Structure 1
Amino acid sequence: MAGIISRFKDIMSSNINALLDKAEDPSKMIDQYLRNLESDLGKVKSETASVMAEEKRAKRELDELDEQINKMQKYAEKALIAGNESDAKLFLEKKSQLSQNKQTLQKSYEIAAENASKMKIMHDKLIKDISELNARRDQLKAKLAVAKTQERLNKIGASVNGAKGNLSAFDKMEDKINKKIDEANAMNELNSPKEDNIENLMSKYDYNKTNNSEVDDELQALKNKLGL
């Protein structure tokens, strides 16, 4: 019994949250700690059942002894009433012997009751710890999933920023190419021979003159037709 209590002493005094806060990888620590607790819980259940059975046995023996002591007391009284003092003395002697045994049984029962109480406290603490750790593990794993997603987003963001930098470089190259094309076109225009546009200019006016004369003739014919 002492070995069991010593083994689980750290469980009774442990602060789960403090341990998790100090852990480099809380998720792995919880998984390992839970495996240990689940294994320990089976042992504690078995030991607790055994200690509780011992407590009940000690209590039953103590109750039976009390019953025997009371019985000897009653028989001593009956013997005196019947006038048998010697029989009464024998019953009282037996009662005395039983009373001496009661001290031993009482001590055994008190120890068994204390052990059972400690084991039940340990058992309940284990159940509570396992429940808390299961809930905390789910929370931590959810946070870990969010953290991993954020890491992926950060990497994607860095890639996008790199792509933007490449696009910016392409824009600069395109501007340089367009500038060279514009400069080449301008140079080509400057190097091209100039044509004499006088004749073209003269044909423009000749066309307009002919065109106006035809319109005037048509207008005059229309007036004559209408008697104007």
Structure 2
Amino acid sequence: MSILSRFSDIISSNINAVIDRMEDPEKMIDQYLRNMMDDLAEVKRSTAGIMAEEARAKREVDQNEAQVNKYAELTKKALEAGNDDDARIFLSKKQETENVGSGLATSYASAHENAMKMRQMHDKLANDIEVLKNRRAMIKGKMSVAKTQETLNTVTDSISKTKGAMGSFQRMEDKANRKLDEANAMNELNSAPIDEAKKLEEKYASQTSAAVEDELERMKKDMGLSSTKEEPTDSDEQ
């Protein structure tokens, strides 16, 4: 059977070494697992037929041995009865049966060996599948962490770029402020010089005017004059 022809490869394979050689374990491990599951299913299907063949071969061997023992007993009885010719016939039949038994024993040995191989392959595949499943979970977990880390690295890089952009904006704002300060300073320098004397003259002139008005009010009050113009009465109109 095809599965038996792969016995040596399956038994000698090292599942961990196979995984380590995979270029992309996360993707390839699933396909490899599917292949192993297919092999295990084929082993199970084939094992039933091989075990049936083993049982049939064993039954034929047992029947042959029973025949040999029967002719051996008949040979003894013929000798005890003094019938050498009958004994020779039984003995000849016994030898023929033993010759057939040699072939049956060979067939049984092959069937038994095949059944043992099938059981070995079954156990090996079942164990490798468990190892593969465990390694797959571990690998996928690591890949998930790696992808998360890559995302964080991308976010961190974006934040760094944003900080760099903000720094650029800050430098541009500082430059604009500096330009504005320089422009204001230049405008101040270009303005006409302030006449300090004129400013003082205006200040004291306004103060003098206020003092005159105050004095005028006091004089009117001393003279009994109203500080406001009186409204004409009805008699004055007449």
1:190-220 deviations in Å (ceiling 9; x for gaps): 75835549x79xx9xxxxxxxxxxxxxxxxx
Taking structure 1 as the reference length, the TM-score comes to: 0.76
Report the counterpart of residue 72 of structure 2 in structure 1. 73
Contact 2:57 2:111 in 1 (8 A): yes
Question: Could you tell me whether the CA contact under 8 Å between 2:3 and 2:39 is conserved in 1?
Answer: no
| TM-score, normalised with respect to structure 2 | 0.73
The amino acid of 1:88's aligned partner reads A
Aligned residue in 1 for 2:18: 19
Distance (whole Å) between structure 2 residues aligned to residue 167 and residue 125 of structure 1:
62
Percent of aligned pairs with the same amino acid? 53
The equivalences for 1:34-49 within 5 A come to 34-49=33-48
What's the counterpart of residue 28 of structure 2?
29
How far the C-alpha of 1:13 sits from its partner, in A, is: 2.9
Q: How does 1:207-226 map to 2 (within 5 A)?
A: none
For 1:79, give the aligned amino acid: A
Give the counterpart letter for 2:99 in structure 1: Q
Alpha-carbon shift at residue 153 of structure 1 (Å) = 0.9
What are the residue-to-residue correspondences of 1:112-131 with 2, within 5 Å?
112-131=111-130
Task: Write out aligned runs for 1:1-228 (5 A).
Answer: 1=1, 3-183=2-182, 193=194, 194=196, 195-196=199-200
Deviation at 1:105, TM superposition (A): 0.9
Q: CA RMSD in A?
A: 2.5
Gaps of 5+ in 2: 208-238
SS in 2 for 1:24: coil
Q: Distance in 2 between matches of 1:156 and 1:169?
A: 20
Q: CA deviation at 1:188?
A: 6.7
CA distance in 2, matches of 1:8, 1:106: 23
Give, in whole Å, the separation in 2 of the partners of 1:151 and 1:119. Answer: 46
The total of aligned residue pairs comes to: 199
Measure, in 1, the Cα distance between the counterparts of 2:68 and 2:5. 39
Letter of the structure 2 residue corresponding to residue 30 of structure 1: I
Deviates more, 1:128-137 or 1:11-20: 11-20
Q: Distance in 2 between matches of 1:134 and 1:142?
A: 12
SS in 2 for 1:83: coil
Name the larger-Rg structure.
2
Q: Which amino acid aligns with 1:136?
A: R
Q: In structure 1, what residue type is equivalent to 2:35?
A: N
Q: Residue 97 and residue 52 in structure 1: after superposition, are their counterparts in 2 closer, same or farther (change >3 A)? A: same
d(CA) in 1 for partners of 2:140 and 2:64?
Answer: 58
Secondary structure of the 2:51 match is: helix
One-letter amino acid matched to 1:17 = N
